[in-house]
Amino acid sequence: MLNVAYEGFKTFGERLQAAFSSTNEPVQRLRVLGDAYARFAFDFPLHYRLMFMQRIEMLEAEPPEGHERVIDSFGLLLEAVKLAMDAGVVERRDPRAISALLWSALHGIVSLSFTQPIITRAEAEQLVAWHLQLFERGLRPE
């Protein structure tokens, strides 16, 4: 199970790194990171469930033999939020809290679509897009 989780984290990290590097525009970077998060979840639902819907302390331990340490995906999001704040396109607040807010909302949408039959994948994808739009508008500096 640990090896499967590490494989998932490796793919997840690679996708997020590619999204982060795909643009230098700060708001667009946040949007593509959020989209990459959701796409990974929908493309690899079993990995996602293992990685994010069960309590595993594996990230605090050394990786199993044959695996490298995984990319710090939360660190990528945190860096994207800080860059957006530095560019003046996101209100300056606690960047860790803003990052956690974005992550937890996306996680909630994805997790509910996996566990509640009333939310289809198509609806969840729409909710992700809408959330990212609302998030962007809500964090603009006044």
Q: Which domain holds residue 113?
A: 2-138
One-character DSSP codes across 35-71: HHHHHHHHHSHHHHHHHHSS---GGGSPPPTT-PPPP
Report the mean per-residue pLDDT for the chain. Answer: 90
Helix (H, G, I), strand (E, B) or coil at 74: helix
Q: What pLDDT is recorded for position 69?
A: 64
Q: Examine the pLDDT at 64 and tell me if it is beyond 80.
A: no
pTM flag (> 0.85): yes
Contact indicator for 58, 8 with CB cutoff of 8 Å = no
Number of domains in the chain: 1
CATH number for the domain that contains residue 110: 1.10.357.10
Mean pLDDT value across residues 102-128: 94
Please give the structure tokens belonging to residue 85: 């704040």
